[in-house]
Structure 1
């Protein structure tokens, strides 16, 4: 059984996003974004990221889901007190959207848990008024 992260599984997740103008084509409803995720293990034992699950919602409330093994081709082992960062990207059809999701993790001692990623915004800068 998989449970939500608790005190033993302290994983902090930070997100930074960037609009990619060079890869976007607003006239064709193509808005490209990069996101950098930093996962910090503030728990007492190493944890491994096994799988990811993203829910991407565009400005028209169209939802797409992405599930997959690892992140950027890796299933990183994150030691206590250490962080793992990676950058990936997504393309949506509107200038504004959100992403949220979770990582399926397992502790070194074999306890599976879910580390949630709170919703974050994808915003093309000129769409802000």
Structure 2
């Protein structure tokens, strides 16, 4: 698990390899990642956009960006937490991701770039 705080917004990531959906023989590895976003600031914020950098050891880096997370643009009051789970397919048993969320502070409309900590995705059999 990795965690990072940016301007009062905490982002924590936990990853899991999904062997039942993976096929190493076909160079197909599936990982899920749980994201916990906690608003530790004094202001209400809304998550507007996400921007991911995905590094697959077997290929080049790719970028993914778009509105919200898993179809939502959650609003977090001070002290509130938003949790979601998403996934990533890789062509190798090792990869990493990082990026940022664009959030809006609702009191004044200021946009805040909240860093997503870099995390690794490793199939357990690669750890030996």
TM-score by length of 1: 0.91
Distance 1:61 1:102 in 2: 22
Cα deviation, residue 18, structure 1: 0.4
Q: Find 1:56's aligned residue among 48, 51, 54.
A: 54
Work out the number of aligned pairs and report it: 123
1:88 is aligned, of 86, 110, 113, to 86
Q: d(CA) in 2 for partners of 1:15 and 1:72?
A: 15
Q: Which runs of 5+ in 1 are unaligned?
A: none
Residue 96 of structure 2 corresponds to 98
**Residue 61 of structure 1: how far off its partner (Å):** 5.3
- 1:35 aligned residue: 33
- Matches of 1:72 and 1:12 in 2, distance apart? 19
TM-superposed CA distance for 1:60, in Å, is: 3.4
Which of 22, 25, 30 pairs up with 1:24?
22
Deviations 1:20-75 (A, max 9, x none): 11111111111000000000000001100000000000113511111011001000
Paired residues of 2:17 and 2:31 also in contact (CA < 8 A) = yes
Report if the CA contact (8 A) 2:49-2:102 is conserved.
Answer: yes
* SS of residue matched to 1:27: helix
Structure 2 gaps, min length 5: none
Moved segments of 4+, more than 4 Å: none
The alpha carbon displacement at 1:92 in A equals: 0.6
Residue of structure 1 aligned with 2:45, choices 15, 36, 47: 47
Determine the structure 1 residue equivalent to 2:11.
Answer: 13
**What is the TM-score with the length of structure 2 in the denominator?**
0.92
Q: Residue 91 of structure 1: CA displacement? A: 0.2
Q: What is the root-mean-square deviation of aligned Cα atoms in Å?
A: 1.3
